[in-house]
Structure 1
Amino acid sequence: MDDNNIKTQNEPNFTEITYKNNVIKGTLFALIAGTLWGLSGICAQFLFQQKNLTPEWVVCIRLISSGIILLTIAYIKEKNNIFEVFKSKKHVKDLVLFGILGMFGVQYTYFVAINYSNAATATVIQYLGPAIILIYQSLRNKSLPSFVELFAVILSIIGVFILVTHMDINNLVISKQALFWALGAAFALAYYSIKPGNLLNNFSNICVTGWGMLIGGIAFSFIKPIFDISGIFDIYTIGVIIIVIIFGTVIPFSIYVISTKLIGPTKTSLFSTIEPVSSAVFSIFLLNLSFGFMDFLGTAMIISMVVILSVGKKEKKES
């Protein structure tokens, strides 16, 4: 046999190498995005509980600043195409609803839940969102969920029960306000995930996200002006706010989009479930939060629900 043929057979296929590199890069990006989102919640808790800033102001500055940065990135890539969304009344309506009820809604409810409890608990309960989406889709399609899906939902409900009661039904571990806003964050996350479907079929993810953030932030600034600052505003406050905006919003949102293109939305969402884990770890080491066995058990059950739904869901083509 010719030596050249032997060499060619033994050489790795270029397409195979590219695929493996994409899988590694996509997986790494998804893990980093989830970790940074977990860090963002910890930073928010620090601002609320150590610097006395309000969730309203932090959400406002985060959305407006991040929206401007993401739209700048989108403009560099897409030029004037980022304004195409405003040429259709239906798209404008969907974008406004997504910005106010979706983007602002999920940020505000999540941050208020953190303010009443802690980042780890709020993040974990917010991850009930996929279960809510499953129930909504089942009702809309008038079809029963599969046994595995039903098991995952029941598992998540039991997980929340353990997390907030520690198996003592007469004693809530977190306040009623914290539970209310954390559950609100889960419903807001479900709406946030479903609403922009039509927009994402016509426009890029970074464009839709950027406009949603900017619209949501500007709309709420009429209620809580961005210049109405209260709390302790020092160099540490500024530094943490920058972390929330850049490392907790702009970077994770950007690399999450890249990850979905490299390994698909199902695997990306699966790997990003590291967020509640990272939030718990950061809470323990940075904020000295006490996390007991019941907390770990409840968290594990909720994360298991997300993993089961992600693994069981068939990969679908996304624009």
Structure 2
Amino acid sequence: MKNKGVIMVLAAAVAWGLSGIGAQLFFSHFDSTPGWLVSVRMLCAGGLMILLHSLLQGVKSTFSVWSHKKDRRSLLVFGLVGMLGVQYTFFEAIDKGNAATATLLQYLGPVFIIAYVSVHRRRMPGGRELSAFALALIGIFLMTTGGSFGSLTMSVEAFVWGIVTALAAAFYTLYPGRLIAAWGSVPVVGWSMIIGGTGLSILHPPWVFDWSQASLYMGGLLAFIVIIGTIIPFFLFLESLRYVTAAKASILSSAEPLTSVLVGTLFLHIPMDAVQLLGSLCIILTVIVLTLPSRRKEEAAEEPAVTG
């Protein structure tokens, strides 16, 4: 059963990593904007999640989160700030750079979580957290400069959007804890995607698109991003938590940026030399260091997991 959980996490992480590659392919082949693709992704994925949950758990269970005023407000905040924030900034980072660097920079989210917790609780980070900070800084330096102080290997826009994605991922991870504990992950995430997608549709309506570009390939890419890259890995990751601990799941989910780097380098020919690959490894190690089992119950409760 434990091996089953490990396989589920790895499959989810690989699928999430491939979803970023799918988005990069979409931007390179079709005249579109990150806002349009995100609104389509969120509305389709959120709608399918809610539909599936209603069929499996019942309509009452799916809509019960809307019965409490305080939770309605929290769900709206999470949908419009957390879910929309992390999805939109991630796709902007891909559009301005590439899927590999966007995914890696997103994985700096746990570093911002540790920084927030340390300030909020007015305590200095421990040795493990300081080691993670050092690895993160080294990773960013190597990835963005290739080891040379006088050059940049990625655009400033791509770097800024990547860092904003990490900040959004930190909020996305920290904010919905009470909601998920009360109502479950699937309805909370499903509704938040619908909320975020609806809000973004005001600026980027899904129906406003140059449909002369439409083709079987375009439809396949969209289906891949929504189903293979969003819905399936989300359900696999949640199901895996029945068999493995959250800490182990977080470590194994580091396969997501690794997938983006390997696929992007080998098949999309994203330029990445040995120094940048070393920087990528540092960022992946940052997540692993922060999610290693701790003897302190307080730290164990704070262990972050950034997914999808």
TM-score range, shorter chain: over 0.9
Map 1:35-46 to 2 at 5 A. Answer: 35-46=14-25
**Matched-pair identity in %:** 35
User: What SS does the aligned partner of 1:130 have?
Assistant: helix
Q: Does 1:118 align with 2:86?
A: no
* TM-score (norm: length of structure 2): 0.93
User: How far does residue 233 in structure 1 lie from its aligned partner after superposition?
Assistant: 2.5
Of 59-68 and 221-230, the range deviating more from structure 2: 221-230
Task: Check whether the contact 1:54–1:230 (CA below 8 A) recurs between aligned residues.
Answer: no
Task: Check whether the contact 1:26–1:260 (CA below 8 A) recurs between aligned residues.
Answer: yes
Query: Residue 55 of structure 2: which of 76, 80, 86 is its match?
Result: 76
| Cα pair distance change 1:127/1:252, threshold 3 Å | same
Distance in 1 between the 2:245 and 2:47 partners? 27
Q: Which amino acid aligns with 1:165?
A: T
Distance in 1 between the 2:302 and 2:201 partners? 37
1:219 aligns with 199
User: What SS does the aligned partner of 1:261 have?
Assistant: coil
Map 1:208-247 to 2 at 5 A. Answer: 208-230=188-210, 232-247=213-228
2:186 aligns with 206
Aligned residues: 297
Distance in 1 between the 2:31 and 2:245 partners? 40
Distance in 2 between the 1:97 and 1:161 partners? 34
Q: Does 1:298 align with 2:279?
A: yes
Distance in 1 between the 2:218 and 2:112 partners? 35
Distance in 1 between the 2:107 and 2:301 partners? 21
Greater C-alpha radius of gyration = 1
Distance in 2 between the 1:142 and 1:316 partners? 17
User: How far does residue 317 in structure 1 lie from its aligned partner after superposition?
Assistant: 11
User: How far does residue 170 in structure 1 lie from its aligned partner after superposition?
Assistant: 2.5
Give RMSD over aligned pairs: 1.5
- Structure 2's unaligned 5+ residue stretches are 304-308
Distance in 1 between the 2:93 and 2:78 partners? 21
Query: Residue 232 of structure 2: which of 251, 257, 262 is its match?
Result: 251
Task: Check whether the contact 2:247–2:293 (CA below 8 A) recurs between aligned residues.
Answer: no
Of 44-53 and 269-278, the range deviating more from structure 2: 44-53
Q: Which amino acid aligns with 1:291?
A: M
1:61 aligns with 40
* TM-score (norm: length of structure 1): 0.90
Distance in 1 between the 2:276 and 2:302 partners? 36
